[in-house]
Homo-oligomer: A and B are copies of this chain.
Amino acid sequence: MDEPLLAPLARRWDQRVPLSADEREALISLPATRKSCPKDAYIVREGETTSTCVLLLKGFAYRQKFVGEGARQIISLHIPGEFVDLQNCLLPVSDHNVQSLEQTELAFVSKTALLDLTVRYPSLAKAMWLDTLVDASIHREWVVNVGRRDAKTRLAHLLCELALRLEASGAVRDGIYQFPLTQEQLADATGLTAVHTNRTLQALRKDGLISLSHNALRIHDWKRLRDVGDFSERYLHYAV
């Protein structure tokens, strides 16, 4: 009740694309509906025609697609403060599923209202475009990760990415990262099986790189983990 639903979003966007008072105001005063969402629920379904975009207020979510044989590939992870489907602002039909990873709080914003903002405020248009461009850059890195790195490197890379994004969002406390992924979900994100993910995580632990239990990741040796994960943060486009 204290602050508008979209205020944190305005702050985040403002860091990358400076917004005028007008623009900030216009964004914040967009009508947005808050909804709770249980664990593992679908937020957007592939093939669906949507009329809103969904902002993640609390809790993690992920995008995924199924292949013919029933296997699932997780395409990206999303942490609080991020849009999970801003691209649907322009794309009429969703090309993938979005699911909650835990119990979440969501803000639904009308697509047409958002589009209207882009017409009136070029900086907001830029901010939205940029948001989806960073998504795309992360997708590209995932293609590389899943296509050309071995299991250990793949997992280390994913952990590095998530850690850095959590840092940037200010959600880290005492070096402990929230990590609400089961090993099966981690496997679906890296293109591995759950069994092999398990064994590979054990290797990372034995190497003294991380501690990982359900919902809590601790990184003991950031430099070496980075190294093992062949990680370079350029693709996150933080530096402006």
Contacts and interface: CB of A to CB of B under 8 A. Distances in A.
Contacts of A237: 91, 93, 95
B136 A67 contact: no
Contact of A144 (B65, B125, B137): B65
A223 interface: no
Interface string A216-240: 0000000000000010001101011
A73 to B, nearest CB: 4
Contact of A72 (B96, B119, B140, B148): B148
Given A47-B234, A143-B143, A148-B191, A137 B91 contact: yes
Interface of A: 46-47, 63, 65, 67-69, 71-73, 75-76, 87, 90-93, 95-96, 115, 118-119, 122, 125-126, 128-130, 132-133, 135-137, 139-144, 146-149, 153, 190-191, 230, 234-235, 237, 239-240
